[in-house]
Structure 1
Amino acid sequence: MDGENQSIFLNNSSPHLPDRFSNLEDIDVTADGSPVLRSFICLVYSVVCAVGLLGNLLVLVFIRVRQERKTSSINFFVLNLAVTDFQFVLTLPFWAVDTALDFSWPFGDAMCKIVLSVTVMNMYASVFFLTAMSVTRYWSVASALKDRTRHKTVSAKWVCAIIWILATVATAPTSIFASVTNVTGEKLCLLRFPGGQSWLAVYHVQKILVGFVLPMSVVSVSYLMLLRFIHTRGMKPRNPKRRSRVTRSVTVVVLSFFLCWMPNHAITFWSVLVKFNAVNWDKSYYLVHTYVFPVTVCLAHANSCLNPVIYCLMRREFRKKLKDLVYRG
């Protein structure tokens, strides 16, 4: 089979298997149907779902139910991040079934739109909240204020509301163009843009820039400015150990997001170059998208269960509450 007619993952059509097909009319849908690979993906989705549900639920309980009345802005962002990741892992059983059926969608067109939109929206929301956490950490240290008054809590709520609105707007193309499409007798849940490859490439660029490059740039600048501020001002904030622990936990969460999502976005960018004919399609591209890309998708999804684990294990108050919960049980 020549390169033009191969089953190549170029569509970024579903977030559980982005960059799927370049030509829906000319596809060999069995090219990526390795039972071993599909079994591995299903296993990863099941583990991420179980760990993510438990971990994010614990974070929600600890912050929302057992936390003191006075909640910091960082904890408020963590609360929303836990809600985001909790919603995301709820979509994984659908993708696990879809994968087990060799990427044949059995849940109908309405559920395709809903599940696909929720998945993409929560991807955007996660990185936006991580960005807000980094900027807030810099601002709190730079302003030399350990605790904010009620005004700051209200401000954090407004920021979270804006983040959810931005995530919803960024997801609009997915909500509009997601549909179940019949491809060589198989029903696939994917994006179908009327403009073909050009609009699909623009969609990819939006996802890479808005969902990764720009947020990670803001995060990097925030931490560089934070380090510069501390070194130049010689600032010694009150309760430096507590501030150091919070800063370290936020840093690890952001780094885990970068390491989990960077391979996925890198290969997606490769797809964009192929769509714009800036890079030629070749055998290495096919092999990477067939066997490596699904692994990067699993790695990206695993990030949704890493955030609560990091916060529960790295922060003393969470460890203490978890220990009390276990002993009380």
Structure 2
Amino acid sequence: MTLQSTSLPDFSTTTLYGDQNKTNDTDCPDLYDWEWLHTSQPVYILIITVLGIMFNVFVLMVFCFHKKACTVAEIYLGNMAAADLILVSCLPFWAVYVSNGFIWPFGLFLCKVVNLGIKVNAYSSIYFLVLVSIDRYMALVHTMSHGRMRRPKYAKLGCLLMWGFGLLLSVPTLVFREVRYFPEFNVHACFLDYPSINAELLFDGILIVFSFIIPISIISFCTVKIIHALKIQAIERFNAEKTEQKATNLMLAVLLAFLVCWVPFHVVTTLNVLLRAKLMGGCHLESVLDICNQIFTYLAFFNSVLNPILYVIVGKNFRKKVCELFKQWRICKTATPESSRSSNLSATLKTLV
């Protein structure tokens, strides 16, 4: 997609980061028909929005209203659900943007805020997974030596730091997101307006390192050690660690889903940076990356719906909490009329006395 394209200008791509706003100086023709953007993508986005809001609100309700306090792993997963909820809440604005022919009708403030919400989710989610991986690593590999660090207050502090770090990585969105009128396409586009190509490559390189390479390296190290520890426990038949293994199985499932949904997007983003740095080239490669960028972006969005489903399917402790919460609500409903009647009776006796 190029700025010479009449079907879909480059600044209107619906990529998650929106960093592919290259002012095109090539003569590459469009090899794909982009009309499907205006029809299929808004519908898909709205489906993801409805399912994501329902499922993640349900997860947060279970974690917040259950009578027992959340474990360290559940604190991390609850924050992941909150981050996913922020993302899917921002997507309807993007659906309107796409269906409106890439004319941004919501003004500069929402242009910055909506994209900020999407990016904070992207960065915070992977670092919540880092925290979950480190917690499982400590629980299974260093069971005795790091027990004090696996406390809810430290988990909450870690989550607060990760929210702050995700917000820090999203600063370029607040600074460089702009709404600009392009007379050649007759649209007001919400896009990243970097001051120069060098600044664009610098910020993109920093984001790739801190939002992909470093967290994936930490997660990979912890996962290898965790799987090794689980094999040893299976051989020695440790029964005392069944609770830890259940939590670890859920973590591994969530991690696998995250990798399947997000790694293709990060790989394509990296290739796009190399393309803009002129370390790679070719019209066919550019067109392939454009179409992959669209597909893998919405695959990444789907992760926000997939996580709550995994909690129910894989998380036995989560299902147990759901059942206990429903029982708790039923008891409250049945107890409320009786308690009100008893309070009325005691009030009547007091007046009689």
TM-score by length of 1: 0.86
1:160 aligned to 2:159? yes
1:117 aligned to 2:120? no
CA spacing shift, 1:79–1:235, aligned 2, 3 Å: farther
Deviations 1:204-239 (A, max 9, x none): 222222112211111110011223345568776554
Partner of 1:38: 38
Rounded Cα–Cα distance in structure 2 between residues aligned with 1:66 and 1:157: 18
- Any conservation in 2 of the 1:57–1:86 contact (CA below 8 Å)? yes
Q: Residues 302-313 of structure 1 correspond to what in structure 2 (within 5 A)?
A: 302-313=302-313
- Any conservation in 2 of the 1:72–1:148 contact (CA below 8 Å)? no
Q: Which moved more, 1:136-145 or 1:9-18?
A: 9-18
Residue type of the partner of 2:133?
Answer: S
Q: Which runs of 5+ in 2 are unaligned?
A: 334-353
Q: Residues 1-329 of structure 1 correspond to what in structure 2 (within 5 A)?
A: 5=4, 15-16=15-16, 18-23=18-23, 34-69=34-69, 71-144=70-143, 152-183=151-182, 184=184, 185-194=186-195, 196-230=196-230, 239-289=240-290, 291-322=291-322, 325=326
Say which SS state the counterpart of residue 90 (structure 1) adopts.
Answer: helix
Q: How many residues align?
A: 324
Residue type of the partner of 1:249?
Answer: L
Bigger radius of gyration: 2
Q: CA deviation at 1:272?
A: 0.9
Rounded Cα–Cα distance in structure 1 between residues aligned with 2:283 and 2:134: 42
Rounded Cα–Cα distance in structure 2 between residues aligned with 1:178 and 1:4: 18
Say which SS state the counterpart of residue 22 (structure 2) adopts.
Answer: coil
Say which SS state the counterpart of residue 277 (structure 1) adopts.
Answer: coil
Rounded Cα–Cα distance in structure 2 between residues aligned with 1:11 and 1:74: 40
Say which SS state the counterpart of residue 182 (structure 1) adopts.
Answer: strand
CA spacing shift, 1:154–1:22, aligned 2, 3 Å: same
Say which SS state the counterpart of residue 34 (structure 1) adopts.
Answer: coil
Rounded Cα–Cα distance in structure 1 between residues aligned with 2:17 and 2:31: 14
Deviations 1:165-203 (A, max 9, x none): 111111111111111122232111111111x22221222
- Any conservation in 2 of the 1:15–1:116 contact (CA below 8 Å)? no
TM-score by length of 2: 0.81
CA spacing shift, 1:12–1:257, aligned 2, 3 Å: farther
Rounded Cα–Cα distance in structure 2 between residues aligned with 1:9 and 1:226: 46
CA spacing shift, 1:265–1:10, aligned 2, 3 Å: farther
Q: CA deviation at 1:63?
A: 0.8
CA spacing shift, 1:322–1:232, aligned 2, 3 Å: closer
The alignment yields a C-alpha RMSD, in angstroms, of 3.4
Rounded Cα–Cα distance in structure 1 between residues aligned with 2:244 and 2:161: 26
Say which SS state the counterpart of residue 170 (structure 2) adopts.
Answer: helix
Rounded Cα–Cα distance in structure 2 between residues aligned with 1:12 and 1:273: 21
Residue type of the partner of 2:100?
Answer: L
CA spacing shift, 1:317–1:288, aligned 2, 3 Å: same
Residue type of the partner of 1:211?
Answer: S
CA spacing shift, 1:279–1:201, aligned 2, 3 Å: same
Q: CA deviation at 1:286?
A: 1.7
Q: Which moved more, 1:110-119 or 1:243-252?
A: 243-252
Q: CA deviation at 1:159?
A: 0.7
Q: Which has the higher contact order (CA 8 A, sep 6+)?
A: 1
Rounded Cα–Cα distance in structure 1 between residues aligned with 2:302 and 2:27: 29
CA spacing shift, 1:81–1:9, aligned 2, 3 Å: farther
Q: Which moved more, 1:175-184 or 1:55-64?
A: 175-184
Q: Which moved more, 1:259-268 or 1:202-211?
A: 202-211
CA spacing shift, 1:81–1:158, aligned 2, 3 Å: same
Residue type of the partner of 1:275?
Answer: R
Q: CA deviation at 1:35?
A: 3.3
Say which SS state the counterpart of residue 224 (structure 1) adopts.
Answer: helix
Identity between Structure 1 and Structure 2 (%): 23
Rounded Cα–Cα distance in structure 1 between residues aligned with 2:188 and 2:219: 40
Q: Which moved more, 1:36-45 or 1:246-255?
A: 36-45
Rounded Cα–Cα distance in structure 2 between residues aligned with 1:64 and 1:192: 40
Rounded Cα–Cα distance in structure 2 between residues aligned with 1:181 and 1:171: 20
